[in-house]
Structure formats: structure tokens, C-alpha cells
């Protein structure tokens, strides 16, 4: 009989970006917030062979479940659960 495995809760998962050139992980070096919904991240490729540096952007696109405390300054469309406006490529 094997002993039960204690699973410790995983730490909060960090956002990761892949290098658009070589596909290796990128390390975020800093970020800057622009307004209520848009944020940019400066990131460097972790591959010694590549060494690329990039600016990635992030923003919400649509609402899946409405907030119980909505911000009146943010106007995002609701997600169409019929499948009409889903992203053509999910990662």
C-alpha cells in the first residue's frame, strides 16, 4: 500500500511569454500600465543563442462572467457563448 501524496497548493502561476523568434521562454524585466486595461511588458529571451528583447502588450478582450463590482470606466463586450466570436486560434 502506498502512502497518500500530499499536494501542496502551487504558487501563483506567473504569466509567461515565448520568444516570437526561437520559442524559448522570455523573462519579464519590467512593465508599465497604460490606462485602466492595457499593460506592456519588456521581456528578454532566455536563450543565449537568441538574445532577443521584446515589448509584449496585454489587455482584456471581452467579459466571460460579469464582475460583481464593475468599473464604470471600462466598457468591454460580453462574450458570445454561442461560439460566434471565439478566437480562431486558442493557445
34 in any annotated domain: yes
Q: What is the pLDDT of residues 24-70, one digit of tens each?
A: 999 999 999 999 899 999 999 999 999 999 999 999 999 999 999 99
Rounded CA gap, 26 and 11, in Å?
Answer: 19
> Which domain does 33 fall in, by range?
17-58
Q: What is the pLDDT at residue 22?
A: 97
pLDDT for 67 equals 92
Q: What is the DSSP string of 30-65?
A: EEEEETTTEEEEEEEE--TTT--EEEEEE----BSS
Q: Is residue 23 part of a domain?
A: yes
The pTM score is: 0.65
- Cα separation, 42 vs 32, in Å, equals 9
Of 6 and 24, which is predicted with more confidence? 24
How many Å is the Cα radius of gyration of the chain? Answer: 19
Work out how many domains the chain is built from and give that number: 1
Amino acid at each position: 500500500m502506498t502512502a497518500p501524496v500530499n499536494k501542496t497548493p502551487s504558487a501563483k502561476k506567473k504569466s509567461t511569454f515565448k520568444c516570437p523568434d526561437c520559442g524559448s521562454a522570455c523573462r519579464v524585466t519590467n512593465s508599465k500600465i497604460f490606462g485602466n486595461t492595457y499593460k506592456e511588458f519588456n521581456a528578454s529571451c532566455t536563450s543565449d543563442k537568441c538574445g532577443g528583447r521584446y515589448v509584449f502588450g496585454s489587455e482584456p478582450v471581452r467579459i466571460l462572467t460579469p464582475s460583481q463590482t464593475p468599473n464604470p470606466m471600462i466598457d468591454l463586450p460580453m462574450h458570445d457563448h454561442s461560439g460566434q466570436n471565439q478566437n480562431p486560434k486558442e493557445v
